Amino acid sequence: MSLLWLRVAVVLYGVAALAVLPAALYGRPRWRHLAVPIALLGAFFHFVSIAETFYAAHRALPVDTHETLSLLGLLLAAAFLILATRYKTVAFGIFLLPVIVLLTLAPAFHPGRETVAYPLVGPVWIFLHVALLLAAYAALLISLLASVLYFVQERSLKSKASSNQSKLRLPPLEVIDQIALKALLFGLPCMTAGLLIGSVLALETTGPAFFADPKVLLSIAMWFAYMLMIFIRQQSGLRGRRAAYLSSLAFIFVLAVWAANQLSAVHRFAAP
Amino acid sequence: MIETPTSHGSLLLIGVNHTTAPIEVRERLAISAARLADATRTLAHQPGIREAMILSTCNRVEFLIDAENAGDVLATHAPSFLPRFVHEYFSVAPSSLEPHLYTFREREAVRHLFRVASSLDSMVVGEPQILGQVKTSWNVAREVGAITSNERIASTLDPLLQRAFSVAKRVRSETQIGSSSVSIASVAVDLARKIFGSLTGKTVLIVGAGKMADLAARHLIQQGATTLLVSNRTEARAQKIADALRTPHITTGVIPLDHLHAEAHRADIIITSTGAGAEAGEHIFTRSQAAHLVQRRRNRPIFFVDIAVPRDVDPTVNKVEGCFVYDIDDLQQVAAQNQASRSKEAEAAETIVSSEVERYHQRRSAAPAVEAIKQLQLSAETLRQQELHRTAARLAAEPFSPAQQAAVDALTKSLTAKLLHPQLTLLRESSNTPKDE
């Protein structure tokens, strides 16, 4: 049954992804009123699906890559809904909703069959480790998108006549900048706490050898990149094109950490 | 008992507007807000008028009337009461008005009212003020009793105006007719909003003391800007502007022109209107100065509104990251594009108005039939109840059990419905009334 709910959620996300286009690109309010409730309904079915899966398996953790991706998709859907409600913008949906569809498509139609043996110690801590890191990744993605949208809006305003012919409905520059910064500031404690919890658990189960693992090393590098990005933004008020480059750099670290799952000898969790 | 009209009055809309009358004529007919109630009352007391409303704005003066004597009113081009009213109230010879007057009757009057309320008949199509002005006129007419607001007495103008407000709302929500600005000052405000979002707490710097700059600054202050700085060659003039715009919520200050570059980083929006910089061979704000400003602002954006000719701000400043420069041509171009966009949206709005006029007329023509259907159903139900009571009285010794009572009730209801069905069908067909009305 949980698969059915997930499939319903994927279809709803797909419809919302289509509805958001006329709303954001042509400023049609009716489509906005359609896109947001459909995405909300999608998130609801998505949540039901995940909750049912965990309940049926008597666990509260994603056990394979597909489940992890699905959980990340749900966090991004929540982020989209928060942005739509708080800032009255659906422009983020142009990118976010297709990403959510892609993240949930595989789990819905080709569920993973991996069975991961979690360490016996602290399942709650492992859940926090996974959830906090996924929240940090979602925040970083939002920040990256905001930087790109800032760049687009800045170009649009500088090109003058063409900016007003463009129908793309984006939030004001300062609002986009606030979103980018707030997302980063939200992500930092999530990433720090997630990595700390993971490190303590690793010390208990694997010992100091854990810290020689490429995935772990990359994770530490990712945290430094994240910190550096926030420091530079706060110090110089960096925004626009340069901020987008900086966010992209941090995001490359995230992708590298994710990919390092394949190389890791000790980090056996399916989650990155 | 609700009073219902036995026949409809005659709907008339007579007036002048910016397309039919020059300002010399319109200003003679203009009615101030203070005199509107009295004028409306006077018009409503003219013989043959059932209800009336006056809409008086700077672009139009219109009389919306529900007249009693349809034959008399429709027989002449201008109704007989109008010359008397115009003469009495405005001391204007009716003959001087005749060439500028337009008269709409019934369906066309409804269409015109819907178009006016939806801002399709405005000088600046899509401007939002007109709806508020129509509402004010409606409220005044209700207050003085020129429009019936009593639910027990049938009114023609009250539901018509409420419909007009719904149509205007529909036009606003389903089209983009009012979404873009068409004046230079409001375009500047819109652009500032695209950069800063809310203008609350923002600082505006005026360089030069031109009228246009002053107007743009006032617009920005109205939208929430809280600090105004003025820099001008003549400091006394700068001080005068600063003093004029200072309020308990607005902080103002004067920056001597010599200190302009040292202080300009405090401003989020800089409006220049001197035209003096380029004459002296150099712009007031050059690219390097702008880059320095942005640096001092820690990359926070800065918006230059350059309405001077020749320009005060070097056009290449727009290439500096975080700087946005709009000169007078840019602003005019945006305004023209918005105007064109509004015209396109106006076509969609006209379609909405046409369909709403049709709906209104269908309902209005069906109103007597609906009333007749209600009356017929009410009479039948009264008769049924009376018969049931009479039967119950006759059977007082052996009253019905609850089950029998329910069966008799259902039987009589069914009989009544079947007996009425042919008449109700005929009435509905004759007026095209939907079954649920």
Q: Does A256 touch chain B (CB under 8 A)?
A: no
Catalytic residues of B: 58
Average pLDDT score over residue span B44-59: 88
pTM of the model: 0.68
Which of B116, B176, B148, B172 is closest to B357 using CA atoms? B116
Q: Report pLDDT for A58.
A: 73
Which chain A residues are Cβ-neighbours of B287 within 8 angstroms?
none
Specify the length of chain B in residues.
437
Chain A interface disruption, residue of B269, B299, B345, most A CBs within 10 A: B299
pLDDT band at B9 (very low <50, low <70, confident <90, very high): low
Give the pLDDT band of residue A48 (cuts 50, 70, 90): very high
Task: Enumerate the residues of chain B whose CB falls inside 8 A of the CB of residue A239.
Answer: 299, 322
What average pLDDT score do residues A101-129 get?
72
The answer to whether the Cβ–Cβ distance between B298 and A157 falls below 8 Å is no
pLDDT surpassing 50 at residue A270: no
How far is it, in rounded angstroms, from Cα B437 to Cα B430? 14
Interface test with B, best of A30, A157, A165, A166 (most B CBs within 10 A): A157
Given a cut of 90, is residue A245 above it in pLDDT?
no
Is the model's pLDDT at A142 over the cut of 90?
A: yes
Binned at pLDDT 50, 70 and 90, residue B147 comes out as: very high
Candidates A29, A158, A237; nearest CB to B173:
A29
**Mean pLDDT within B85-112:** 85
pLDDT of residue B157: 93
- pLDDT in the model for residue B177: 83
Smallest CA-to-CA distance from A201 within A77, A7, A61 is with A61
Give residue A204's pLDDT.
80
Look at A239 and B322 and tell me if their CB atoms are within 8 Å.
yes
Q: Which residues, 6+ apart, have CB-to-CB distance to B275 below 8 Å?
A: B208, B308, B309, B310, B311, B312
A264: pLDDT strictly greater than 80: no
Could you tell me the pLDDT band of residue B51, with boundaries at 50, 70 and 90? very high
Does A164 touch chain B if contact means CB atoms closer than 8 Å? Answer: yes
pLDDT, tens digit (0-9, with 9 covering 90-100), for A184-229: 899 999 999 998 998 888 788 777 777 777 778 888 888 888 888 8
pLDDT band at A175 (very low <50, low <70, confident <90, very high): very high
Sort out which chain A residues have CB atoms less than 8 A from B319's CB and list them: 158
Tokens of A53: 């899966």
Confidence band, pLDDT 50/70/90 cuts, at residue B345: confident
CB B147 within 8 A of CB B155: yes
**Helix (H) / strand (E) containing B306:** strand B302-306
Q: Which residue has the tokens 């990712």?
A: A222
pLDDT for residue B275 is more than 70: yes
Q: Which chain A residues touch B177 with a CB distance below 8 Å?
A: none
Give the mean model confidence (pLDDT) for residues B15-41: 87
pLDDT of A29 = 75
Averaged over A22-35, what is the pLDDT?
A: 84
B81 touches chain A (CB under 8 A): no
* Whether pLDDT at B7 is above 50: no
Domain ranges of chain A: 1-110, 120-272
pLDDT at residue B24 greater than cutoff 90: no
pLDDT confidence tier of residue B153, bands split at 50, 70 and 90: low
- Give residue-wise pLDDT tens across range B163-187: 999 999 999 888 888 777 777 888 8
pLDDT at A271: 41
DSSP assignment, residue A238?
-
Q: What is the pLDDT of residue B29?
A: 84
Separation of CA A112 from chain center: 20
Say whether B194 and A160 touch across the interface (CB within 8 A). Answer: no
What would the mean pLDDT of A168-172 be, rounded to a whole number? Answer: 84
Nearest CA in chain B to A158: B324
Whether residue B179 lies within 8 A of chain A, CB to CB, comes out as: yes
Peptide bond into B310 cis (omega under 30): yes
The per-residue pLDDT for A193 is: 94
What is the rounded CA–CA span in Å between residue A270 and residue A224? 23
Alpha carbon A233 to its chain centroid, in Å, reads: 20
Give me the mean pLDDT over the B317-339 stretch.
Answer: 89
Q: Given this model, what pLDDT does residue B87 score? A: 75
The mean pLDDT value for B49-55 works out to 92
For chain B, domain boundaries: 10-179, 184-336, 376-431
Q: What is the pLDDT of residue B389?
A: 87
Helices (H), B175-297: 184-196, 211-222, 235-245, 260-263, 287-296
- Largest Cα–Cα distance of chain A, in whole Å? 63
Query: For domain B10-179, is the CATH number 3.30.70.1450?
Result: no
Instruction: Compute CA distances A32 → A81, A149, A157, whole Å.
Output: 12, 18, 23
Mean pLDDT computed over every residue of chain B? 85
Q: Which CATH number fits domain B184-336: 3.40.50.300, 3.40.50.720, 3.30.310.40, 3.40.1550.10?
A: 3.40.50.720
Q: Note the pLDDT of residue A167.
A: 63
Band the pLDDT of B71: cuts 50, 70, 90. Answer: low
Q: What is the distance between the alpha carbons of residues A254 and A251, in angstroms, rounded to a whole number?
A: 5
Q: Which two tokens stand for residue A54?
A: 């965990």
pLDDT computed for residue B192 by the predictor? 93
